[in-house]
Amino acid sequence: MSIVLASLAIAGVLLFRATQTVDPFYAAAVATKPAESRKAGERTENRVADLVDQAETTGRWESIFSDAEVNGWLATILKDKYPTLLPPEVVDPRVSFVNGRCLIGYRYEGEQFRAVVTIEGEPFMASNDVAGFRLRKARIGVLPLPLSKVVEHIDRGAGELQVPVKWIEHEGDPVMLVGVTNALSTDDEVRRLEEIDLRDGELSLAGTATPRKASSRADGISQRAKAAASAAAAAAAAAVQ
């Protein structure tokens, strides 16, 4: 009996240690000095402002964001300006861009369990108005995390933010579809995302912007949400045909 108990105790310790293992990219990202993170976050803010100027001048916008800049924004601007945007159990999110794939890591701090979660996926444009994200892998430490659990968490978070999403399946992987045009647009301008490209350490985005017709400027957030949902539904229908 004592041998069995000892074996169970050892197995429990090993399992716990496996859940506490941290992905190297995440360990490096969270180790960045606060001053460096703030400067990187400010560069991201400046790039976004430049995109607005580009769109107003040429009708087209494009930019490249490094994962260090995005992580700087997540570490500083997100925490300072949008502290309630993420669920309270999701702490210190970070990303890494690697040749067409995106790694997302964060500390999960639940009431009874804490660990670092890593999600691997592939972003792409599913149609002119819909961005897709194919979930490939998910881990708690080094242990596999069912993708169905990731889908549940994304759905709950999207619902709280009133962001309509649709799900389809491709070769066994869940694929999230989100209407982006209405999410990016303003009352005066329709902004379209047309290209997403991930290189080693870089995220490249490009699109167009056109003035919004005066008759449509009165559209509220609910109307935009409905349009995004319709676009995502159309993309989902096309994908499964």
Task: Extract the tokens encoding 223.
Answer: 């109307």
Signed CA dihedral, 73, 149, 121, 167: sign only:
negative
pLDDT at 17: 55
- Report the Cα 228 to chain-centroid distance in Å: 17
Q: What is the pLDDT of residue 18?
A: 55
Could you state, in chain order, the average pLDDT of each consecutive group of 10 residues for the chain (241 residues)? 48 51 90 95 87 70 92 93 86 94 92 88 90 94 90 87 90 93 72 89 89 57 44 38 32
Q: What is the pLDDT of residue 92?
A: 94
Q: Name residues whose C-beta falls within 8 Å of residue 200's C-beta, 6 or more positions apart in sequence.
A: 97, 98, 99
pLDDT of residue 103: 96
In this structure, what DSSP letter does residue 73 have? I
pLDDT number for residue 84: 84
pLDDT for position 230: 43
Q: What's the confidence (pLDDT) of residue 157? A: 83
pTM equals 0.78
